Every structure is written in C-alpha cells, then in structure tokens.
Amino acid sequence: MPGRRILLLILLWFPCAVFATGNAYLEELIQRARQENLSQRAEWLNLLHYKPYAYWFGSRSLADDPGFFNAPDGRNDAAAELEATLAAFFSTAEETDKTQNPQCRFIARYQWLKQELRFDPARLPPQPCKRFYQWRASLDPHEITLVFPAAYLNNPASMYGHTLLRIDARDQDEKTRLLAYSISYAAGTAETSGLIFAVKGLFGGYPGVFAITPYYLKVREYSDIENRDVWEYQLTLTQEEIDRLVMHAWELGPTRFDYYFFDENCAYHLLSLLEVARPGLPLTDRFRWWAIPSDTVRAVADQPGLLKRVVYRPASVTIMQERLKHLPATERELARDLGKQKIDANDSRVRALPAVDQAEALELGYEYAAYESATGRNKAPDAAAHMRELLLARSRLPVPPQKPEIPVPAVRPDEGHKTSRIGIGAGSRDGRRFGEIHLRPTYHDLLDQDAGYTRGAQIQFFDMRFRHYQDDDGLRLEDFKPLDIFSLSPRNDFFSPVSWKINVGWTRKRLADGAEPLVFRLHGGPGLAYAAPKLFGNNAVYYGFLEVALDASQRFESNYTLGAGPAIGLLADVTGRWGVHLQARSLRYGLGDDHWARELVLEQRYALGRQSALRLNLSRKQEFRDYWNSGQLSLYLYF
C-alpha cells in the first residue's frame, strides 16, 4: 500500500512539475527576448505585418483576422504578441486535419524565435508539423519568380495589372514550368463591374485572402482568357530565404486582410512576403498611400542583386495577332472559319493551299478555336473533337511548325514611365492668358508613352487641374476627376472587343449667363475602335463612341442636365516620341437645361525622355450659345 501511495503522489505531482518547469523556461525566454528587444526587430514586425498606422497612433498589424494573433491586443502590441506566441509554443495540442499546434500554425515565427533564443528542445519540445512538411515537400521550392501579367481593363481586379509569386521546383524546366505553384493575394469577390469594384475597394469593402494554386491555372486565366502578356522576374533568393518565404506563406493561408484597391492590394502584400524572406529589403515603405503593381515590380527590379533574369511570355492573342500580320486575306478567312467551326480541315479550299499555307491556316485555326472555347464564346458540344481534328490534319503535313517569332518588347513594365505626374503649363483661352498646374497621382493616359504599358488603356485616379487667369486674384480648381478610364481595344475579323470609357468628377462648365461654376459630371459610354494599318506604320487607332453625360449643379435651372451624342477620334504614334490624339464630340442635352455642347480637340505629345514630355493642346468648344478657342503648352514630369 505505501508503494501505491507514493506512485499516486508522483503521478499527481509530475504534471505540475512539468508545468512549473515550462513556466520557468517561458519566463526565461521572455526575459531574454526583452533584453534583446526582439519585439522591435524588423524580422518580427515583418512577420506580424506591422506598419505605421498614423503618425500619431504608432504602428499596428495590417492583418484583420483575430486568428493571426495569440495576444488579445496582438494587432497593436508587438511585444505582447511575441510573449503570447512564446507561451503558445508550449502547447502540447496534437495536430489534426482541422487544427494545428501553434508551433506549426506559426512556423515562420517559431523558426525565427528558435534561432534567436536558441530553444532547448528538452525544455520546449519541437512539434513534428507533418501537414506543413508534407505540403512543403510537394512544392519542393528552389527558386522564386515574381510574375506580372499586364493590365487588362475588362477585369476590374486587373486594371493596373497584377502580380503573383511563382514557386519554382528544384528540377523544373521550361517544359514543366506550368506545374509549379503560385502565391497570390486578391479580393474575395466575384464582382464584375469595374466601377463597383473600384468604389468598394477604396474603402476595404472586400476581404483579401492569400491563395496557393497551380501556376497553369493562372497562366490560362491571364494569357489565354484575359489576353494579357506575362512578364516573369526571377529572383536571387537563397534557399534559406525561400524557406522563410514559404513558411510565412503557410502562416498567411487562413488569414484575412481587408482588401484596399490602392494600397493593401495584390502587389503590396506580395512585397511583404519578400521582406520576410530577405529582412532589410526596403520595399513596402515607399508605398504608403498607393501601390501600383508596375511600381512594385519596379521597386523589386531596382534592388541591387535581387533580380536574376526576366522572361517575356506573350498571350495567346498576341501570338495570333502576330500571325495575322503575315497572312493574306484568303488564309485569314479560312483560319477564322476553321476556328469558328464553320468549316473543317477537309474543306476543299484548305486542301487546295500549298502545304506551308495549309499549316499556317490550321495552326491559327486551332489557336483561335482554343481561344473561343476558353473564353466561352464557343460552347458547341463537339468543340474538343473539332480541335483534335485540326491537330490531326496539321500533323499530316510534312512541314515544320509555323509559329511566328514574337518580338520581345524593347521596354519592360518596370522600365516604363513612372506613374505619378505633374504638369506645368501656360496658355490662352478666348484671349485670356492663364497658367496651369496639373496633378495626377496615378497612372497612365492615352497620350503618355506606351512603352512598358498596355496600348490604349487609360486609367487615372484623382486627376486635377488648377488655373490662374490673367487679372484674377486666385488659383481656381478647373477640374477634379477621382476616376477616369478610357479603354480602346481595336477590333478585327477575329476579335471584336467593345471599347468603353467612364469618368466621374467635377469640371468647369460655361452656362448660358456666362458663369463657369464647378459642376458634377458622370460621363461615359461604349464604342468601337479599329487599327489604321496604313497610317503611321500601323501605330494608329480610330474610334467612335456613343456617349452619355449627366451634369448636376444648383446653378442649372433644373439642377441637372442630361445629354447624349457621338464622339470620334484618332490616336496615333507618329514617331516614338511624337504622339497625336484628335477627337471631336457633339452632345445634345435634351433633359434638364436644354443646350448643345461640342468640341474639337487636337492634343500632341513630344517625349523629351522616359520621365518628361511636352504637350500642346489646341481646341475649339461650344457650350450653350458660346464658342471659344484655346491653346496651351505644358511640360510634364513623371515621378
């Protein structure tokens, strides 16, 4: 009996002893962490995504998910979070399919604190973390590539372009590249309206989530469906840095961030992953107010020793457009009909072509059929069988592949003009001289140099102009446009996109009594655009739009006026430096205050360099019964 009592006492005392030992070691670790000020080290703050909240409020984490923190106030108190995280590491909770031990849930934090505090495995036993290590083994991370799909205005989440990180496996090559995995961050929404997405995104109206998905799905989405060229920036991260990035990506998997269109977007949060991988990289601090994807790519490319090489991947549409440049009209028509399943590979007109021409028609027909199927334009049940038939017919021809050589653009996205711009100009309107200051925080307009950008894609936010007129006392706001989008997508016999435009803001309008108040304006509409191949070396586009404009002001007799009418224009690059935009519109305001508004505008740009340009604007306008002429010369600087 005495022996049994002693054994019982030992069993009752042992957990308490272990707990006391754990507490003692925890206190020891906390004291050492305080002495070394680990909670204020960049590595720890990066792991928590701490950033200055406001100059008078200090810093806090950008993560909005309570599950990302171990301390009740971990979002605002980095020291409390560090100590609570250390305490959590003593948990003996076993890993299941739905839960993780804290050492595994926060494995990047665990590894860093283990390294800094030199954990004693006898006093703080490490957990096996099988789920993480099995997942890591499936990735086999060996290199990291920053991927930049170019801008695509018809997808609201991609108007500025997009970025993601690709995890390249050890034995990966060009043939197996698509089997890699990618890390992306995006708003969790199915919203398709660009305007609604932008407005809600301004105020954090969507949850932002990280996702790790097969790269081939992203390539199919971007280059096959969204017509976007893809640029790949291979980075020089070491294996230790790659492991740190992958561990932190694991931590972020279930974590929610509020998605903000301008700053806390896809591009910004991927930079934070790179800062975790290589502490000391100054990437996110320069993007306090907004983070444009092309600017974040530029920030990465500018870091000494971080960039290994850059690879260009043309979109399927880019490849097809290059084919079309060299095909005669007859073969173009046959290829189009093959792609649309109007004819098959055994059509007599196809078989009558020489072997090389047959090959070109069949290859383009197959690519076009695949594009029509991927984009949902062709839903025929036998579409797959038709494509197999085209491939089989092509394989019978004894000629090599006719795929064209796609020229790599001379200017990469990170090498284009910077996205912020200031203009200083002088001019005359109706004989009155004026000076003007033009500010545009971001991003690109139709007359900016296209090098490094998607041609015909204008998107500007918070564009504003101030003028001082001769003999006036002060500076007046001429117009302010929080949102200004103009999408020019040329059509041809293969592709028929609809161009569109929308701008919203406040602008000066001359009324019947001669006054020029600021009025609220919502203006836009659909249109059609076509390339002009015989003008300026195929560097011109002409277009026509049906526009609608709603103006609102208490200065109107009806408080509003609503008009509609046609607009036409020509956009051309005469030379690499000289660009021209000629446009005319005539709007009939038939509801509210009845009047006409007409204008003819010629705007020219001459680039002095990548980050500077001169612009000359000449116009004749009418509002109500007043007509006037104006001219202006401005110097624009990009920064």
pLDDT tens readout for residues 72-115: 999 999 999 999 999 999 999 999 988 999 999 999 999 999 99
Residue 13 has pLDDT above 80, yes or no: no
pLDDT higher than threshold 60 for residue 18: no
Q: What is the pLDDT of residue 206?
A: 80
pLDDT higher than 90, residue 476: yes
Instruction: List, as own/partner pairs, every contact residues 36-45 make where C-beta atoms lie below 8 angstroms and the sequence separation is at least 24, other chains included.
Output: 36/116, 38/82, 38/113, 38/116, 38/117, 39/78, 39/79, 39/81, 39/82, 40/78, 40/79, 42/279, 42/280, 43/112, 43/276, 43/279, 44/78, 44/82, 44/109, 44/112, 45/78
**What integer is the mean pLDDT of 14-22?**
41
pLDDT for the residue numbered 52: 85
pLDDT of 7 reads 30
Q: Which residue has the higher pLDDT, 299 or 171?
A: 299
The pLDDT-based confidence of 619 (bands split at 50, 70, 90) is very high
Determine phi and psi for 432, rounding to 5 degrees. Answer: -100, 120
Cβ 442 vs Cβ 402: under 8 Å: no
Tell me what pLDDT residue 6 has.
35
The gap from C-alpha 206 to its chain's centroid, in whole angstroms, comes to: 16
Tokens of 440: 């545009």
* Stretch among 88-102, 215-229, 411-425 having the lowest mean pLDDT: 215-229
Q: How many residues does the chain have?
A: 639
Q: Over the stretch 541-591, which tens digit does the pLDDT of each residue have? A: 999 999 999 999 999 999 999 999 999 999 999 999 999 999 999 999 999
In tens, the pLDDT along 250-273 reads 999 989 998 887 778 888 999 999
Q: What is the pLDDT of residue 508?
A: 97
- Kindly state the percentage of the chain with pLDDT values over 90: 78
- Nearest-5° angle of CA 491, CA 495, CA 497? 60
pLDDT given at position 54: 59
- What is the three-state SS of 134-195? HHHHHHCEEEEEEEEECCCCCCHHHECECCEEEEEECCCCCCCHHHCEEEEEEECCCCCCHH
Q: What pLDDT does 199 receive?
A: 66
3-state secondary structure 309-339: EEEEECCHHHHHHHHHHHCCHHHHHHHHHHH
Mean pLDDT estimate for the chain: 91
Residue 301: the pLDDT is 97
In our burial notation (b when 16+ CB lie closer than 10 A, e otherwise), range 315-331 reads bbbbbbbebbeebeeeb
Q: Is the pLDDT of residue 195 over 70?
A: no
Residue 10 pLDDT > 50, yes or no?
no
- State mean pLDDT over 504-523: 96
Average pLDDT over residues 491-500: 94
Least confident span in 4-8, 210-214, 463-467, 485-489: 4-8
pLDDT band at 192 (very low <50, low <70, confident <90, very high): low
**What are the tokens at 593?**
């205050």
What is the assigned CATH class of domain 421-638? mainly beta
**Residue 375 to residue 174: CA distance in whole angstroms:** 25
Confidence of residue 223 (pLDDT cuts 50, 70, 90): low
pLDDT at 573: 95
Q: Looking at per-residue confidence, does 221 or 149 come out higher?
A: 149
Report the distance separating Cα 124 and Cα 193, nearest Å: 52
Residue pLDDT, tens place only, 361-386 = 999 999 999 999 988 888 889 999 99
Given a cut of 90, is residue 427 above it in pLDDT? yes
Q: What per-residue confidence (pLDDT) applies to 179?
A: 87
pLDDT (tens digit, 9 = 90+) per residue, 442-463? 999 999 999 999 999 999 999 9
Question: Domain residue spans in the chain?
Answer: 24-92+101-128, 139-313, 316-396, 421-638
Is 637's pLDDT higher than 70? Answer: yes
Strand ranges of the sheet holding 164-169, from the earlier edge strand across to the other edge: 256-259, 206-214, 181-187, 164-169, 141-149, 230-235, 307-313
Contacts of 324 (CB under 8 A, 6+ apart): 332, 364, 492, 494
- 210: Cβ–Cβ under 8 A, 6 or more apart, which residues? 183, 184, 185, 249, 252, 253, 255, 269
Tell me which residue has tokens 């996702």: 211
- Given CA atoms 222, 223, 227, 231 in this order, what sign does their dihedral have? positive
Angstrom distance (rounded) from CA 107 to CA 334: 58
